[in-house]
Amino acid sequence: MEQLRRQSPEGMRLFYERYSGFLTAVCSRYVPDRADVKDILQDAFLQMFDAARRFEYRGEGSLKAWASRIAVNRALKWLRAQGRLRRVEDLPDVPEEEVGTLEKVPPAVLQGFIRELPDGYRTVFNLFVFEGMPHREIARLLGIKEDSSASQFFRARAVLAKKINLYIKEHE
Amino acid sequence: MSEKWTDKLPSLMEGYEEAAPEGLWDAVRAGALPKRRFAPWLYAAGGLVAAAAVALAAFLWRPVAVEPSVVSSVVPGEVPSVVPGEVLAETLTETAAEPVREQNEPQTFTEAPEQPVREQNKPETLTNVPEQPIREQNEPQTFTEVPDSFTEKPKARTKSRRKRVELQLSTGAYLAQAASLSSGYGIPYSPGMDTKADSPSPTVPMLSRNRPSTTEGSHRQSLRLSLGVSYAFAPRWSVGSGLTYTALRSDYATTSGNTVTYATRHLYYLGVPLQMQFNALEWKRLSVFVSAGALFETAVGSRLNTRAFIGEQQASESQQFPSVKDLRWSLTAGAGVQYQLFRYGALFLQPGFSWHIPNGGDVESYYSLHPCSFDLTFGYRFTF
């Protein structure tokens, strides 16, 4: 961390090696295209290197959360700049299902299911589930109504539940 | 409960990682290192400090002039109490026999001030001073006499300071080239330049997007012209300023698959130098001088010519005039020789050294890649 604060090339390289895989996964949850993920992560890493001297280190978890927050903010900024958060694609109205044993589904498969969601639904789902944001905050962040955020989340969750159950059923 | 499964998701996905996109580290590293910017005021302050240091050095090492207060204390009819008359006489005798003193040698009241030759102005002494052959320019004066020509410049000084203002036309070149090599995806850039497309040629990124590419660059100065004026503020010392025009050239060759792009970029700078010069040696018509100073430059324009080839066939050709922002301070030093061709004109040749202070900008040029460089300048000086 000290090397990163001093912006030494070695510190940057170590930080990149430790967190690039995790941050790629985080960013890919928001932006499916790999070339776009590369652009976003490039900006995110540069921002992290620049902001490292102001970061107050409180353990490994705090560093990971801080890096993740920067990557997510960069992804949101990119989505907003592309106008993809305003694009509304209706998901089919799927009745909500109970989900079986979630642990049976590999994370890569879950990641793939999330990535298949339309941009708006995927963003709301990620912010609510992974970033722990309430709908009021999500609505403010994305410039949508709170009801719309909740509605998109419920639809996304229903679609994912159906896909997860189907996967479990196929692999039992 | 469906509420529960989304609660479990973060912990399930916590350790999940994906391979980073190819080339991400190269892009991050390339962007991270030049991002270290210094505040612009730091450059301005650095330049001012350098200029002040040069001026202070010139002030401290300037020749010591005759102190009017010391001489004026010796007035007719008044003998300095600290020096007995006999001692004075001896001193004066010695002084008369001494060769001409350096004009910048400190003078005390015991010494007779230098005088121009005055045929009918025999020395008057308080005591019997042995008759000495009259020596040119070194005729002793009595201590009681205030030389009526005191306010005149000594002859040697008059010669040195006769030409107080010089107008200078010069051109020069740096003695080495700089090279660069970079790899990445697509055509990297026109670094620091506001081009319409993010590349030397707008057509190339589409041809080579997401394909590995290598760019080789060579950088040099193609032209420098200077117009300056200097003022001799003390014997041997002068301070000068003026205007410089510099053109820097960069040639790039980018290879990406079977696509090759050649780009030539010219950057044009206008600069204002501030320089201090010391004439170290003068012999007949030749003189040797040393100089030091600072140069402030700002980019005023650029031109970018590109040609792209796919295999043997030319795919595109373009010319752009991108805007570029680059402010730069340089510290300069040099030593040269000057030959007085005519009464009012002299040729000079000056090898020099420049340090182009890194400004943290992302304009890639000879200045940024070769911050320390040797140059050779020659020109003509009109002296008035």
Average the pLDDT over A118-132 and give the result: 90
Those residues with Cβ within 8 angstroms of residue B70's Cβ, 6 or more apart along the chain or in another chain? B107, B108, B109
pTM of the model: 0.42
Domain boundary assignment for chain B? 170-383
Which chain A residue has the Cα nearest residue B10?
A130
CB contact under 8 A, B17 and A16: no
CB contact under 8 A, B9 and A102: yes
Which chain B residue has the Cα nearest residue A96?
B2
* Most B-contacting residue of A22, A31, A122 (CB-CB within 10 A), to test interface: A22
pLDDT at position B106: 44
Q: Is B166 or A121 the better-scoring residue by pLDDT?
A: A121
Tell me: pLDDT of A160 over 60.
yes
pLDDT at position B157: 42
CB contact under 8 A, B2 and A161: yes
Those residues with Cβ within 8 angstroms of residue B23's Cβ, 6 or more apart along the chain or in another chain? A38, B184, B185, B212
* Most A-contacting residue of B1, B2, B18 (CB-CB within 10 A), to test interface: B18
**Which residues of chain A neighbour B1 with C-beta distances below 8 Å?**
98
Where in chain A do CATH 1.10.10.10 domains reside? 90-170
CATH architecture of A2-81: Orthogonal Bundle (1.10)
pLDDT at position A26: 92
pLDDT in tens, chain B (384 residues): 445 788 888 888 888 888 888 888 888 887 776 544 555 666 666 666 766 766 666 666 655 544 443 333 333 444 444 444 444 444 343 444 444 444 444 444 444 444 444 444 444 444 444 444 444 444 444 444 444 444 444 444 444 445 577 787 877 777 666 666 555 544 444 444 444 333 444 334 445 545 566 777 888 877 888 898 888 888 888 898 999 999 998 888 887 777 788 888 999 999 999 999 998 888 888 889 999 999 999 999 999 998 888 777 777 888 888 888 888 899 999 999 998 888 778 888 998 888 988 887 778 888 888 888 888 888 888 877
Q: Percent of chain A beyond pLDDT 70?
A: 95
Overall fold of domain B170-383: Porin (2.40.160)
pLDDT at position B33: 62
CB contact under 8 A, A42 and B33: no
CB of B24 closer than 8 Å to CB of A38: yes
| Residue B321, CA distances (Å) to B118, B195, B251 in order | 69, 8, 16
- Choosing among 3.30.1370.100, 3.40.50.2000, 1.10.10.10, 1.10.150.240, the CATH entry for A90-170 is 1.10.10.10
CB of B260 closer than 8 Å to CB of B309: yes
**Which residues of chain A neighbour B5 with C-beta distances below 8 Å?**
99, 102, 161, 164
Instruction: State pLDDT tens for residues B171-194.
Output: 777 766 666 655 554 444 444 444
Range of weakest confidence among A6-20, A22-36, B283-297: A6-20
pLDDT at position B192: 46
Q: Percent of chain B beyond pLDDT 70?
A: 55
CB contact under 8 A, A161 and B8: no
Q: Which of B358, B355, B369, B33 is nearest to B179 (CA)?
A: B369
pLDDT at position B38: 54
Residue where the block lists tokens 């020509």: B149
CB of B368 closer than 8 Å to CB of B36: no
- The rounded distance, in Å, linking the Cα atoms of B26 and B212 is 11
Average pLDDT for chain B: 68
pLDDT at position B294: 93
pLDDT at position B72: 35
pLDDT at position B170: 78
CB atoms within 10 A of CB B304: 22
Where in chain A do CATH 1.10.1740.10 domains reside? 2-81
CB contact under 8 A, A111 and B18: yes
